[in-house]
Structures are given as structure tokens and as C-alpha cells.
Amino acid sequence: MEIAYQLYTSRKALPLTGQLPFLKRVGYDHIELWPGAYQDAPRGFRRALDDAGLDAPSVFIADPTEADDLPAWIEAAQVLGGRTIVRPGLMPERRPTGVDGWKRLAERLSKEAEIAWSAGLNFAWHNHDFEFQPLADGARPIDILVEHSDPLVRLELDCGWVFQAGSDIETELRRFADRIIAIHAKDAAPLGTVEEDGWLAHGDGVIDWLALLPAIRATNATLVVVEHDEPADWEYVARRSYESLAQLFDGKDDR
């Protein structure tokens, strides 16, 4: 399993490219990018990655909007050397409130996944907590998305958000095993914690990752990603999380 660092974690510590040598020294070979890092100058960011001896196998693109923006994001991801592009969610005002809306989103994602595939890229959806929270009729958005989308629409399962949604992580890992191609190993403090938005470095939280390991291995995931939305000390999060995941998986790449 390859270990990557989501650069969104340290988005407030500028310049972002200045973080790359530190991350390489920690042990990372892979970075997961979010649009704010690269969209203004993807070629320049690619040079910074190359200079630091890092790559970006997974590239977040923008949330889906009314705009037909996929070709530009695909071009940027190709410049960055990405293998997978990821739609990272929806702002609250754009989230469908009913089943039909989620079906329409599934149809859109299916078309985008076909376009990405034809360009040589995988395509994935990254969850938050809202996909696991039932709609008024009891249906869960995550189930609608998976059931009504093409299998080319993969999942990057964020285990921390599954936990915060009150769902059982192991159950969801096994339910969507065939669709999961990446794992966000976001660790969590006890529910209700407000410090750092309830997140912790991997290995410091309440999620039992060792117990989840068989279910993680049963998915199609080849990438496990470190992320923390509001770290008090991003360098500690990066180092502690890498060490914890490397120990969990017995090294950087066990697949």
C-alpha cells in the first residue's frame, strides 16, 4: 500500500512547495494534491514535485458545478503526472435533497468517469459525512451514487468522515470494497471533540486501524492518504501519521 500526504492538510503553511523537501525527508514518496495547490501553475508545481523527488498519483479537482470544466482539470492532472482524478464533494448549498438529485449526480459522474478513462485516468468520488446521512425517505446518498453510477466511478473512502457520520467503518469498507481505490486514513478524536475539528494524527485517535486492516486489504485500494483538516502542528501530523501507517502496513508498499 502506497502512503500519500494530502497537501490540503498544510494549506495554511505557505509556501506549499517549501513543504515538499520536508515531506520527502519524513518518508513520503507521494503527494495528493488539491486544486488550491496547483491550479494557477500546474507545470511549475510539477517541477517542484520533481525537484523534491515526489509524485502526485492522486489529484483532487474542483467540486462538480454547472460548468463543463472536466477537460481543463484532466489536462492539469496529466501535466502533474496524476493517475487518478478525484471529485472531492459538494458544498452544502449544492447537495441534492432527494433521491432524484443524487441519481442525476451519479449520471454526471458516470459520464465524467468515461471521459477520464478515455484520457488514461481513473476517476473517484471522495466522501464526507453527508453521503452517509439518510435523506428524508431513509435512502443514503452514498448508496444511490454507487448503485446508479458506472463502475468506472470509484471511491476514495474517507474513514474519518464515515466515523463522524456515525457509520461503521468496517461495514462500509466491505460494502464498497470493489469500488474503493484509495483510503483516507483520517484519524478522529472522540465524537463531540471541538479542538482541531475533532481530527488527530493517524495513530493518535480512537479508530482501531489494526482491526480495520483486513477490511482495508479486501478493497481495491492501492493508496492510503494522510489528511487532517485543521492541524495545530502539521509537521507533527505528517511525521506521526507516516510512521503510524508505515508500521501498520509493514512498510511503504506491501501490495
203 SS3 class: coil
Nearest to 3 by CA among 158, 162, 185, 177: 185
Rg (CA), the chain: 17
pLDDT in tens, 127-181: 999 999 999 999 999 999 999 999 999 999 999 999 999 999 999 999 999 999 9
- Helix then strand then coil, in percent of the chain rounded to 5, is 45, 15, 40
Three-state secondary structure string covering 16-74: HHHHHHHHHHHCCCEEEECHHHHCCCHHHHHHHHHHHCCEEEEEECCCCCCCCCHHHHH
User: Residue 68's pLDDT is what?
Assistant: 80
pLDDT in tens, 57-100: 999 999 998 778 899 999 999 999 999 999 999 999 999 999 99
In this structure, what C-alpha cell is assigned to residue 184? 483516507
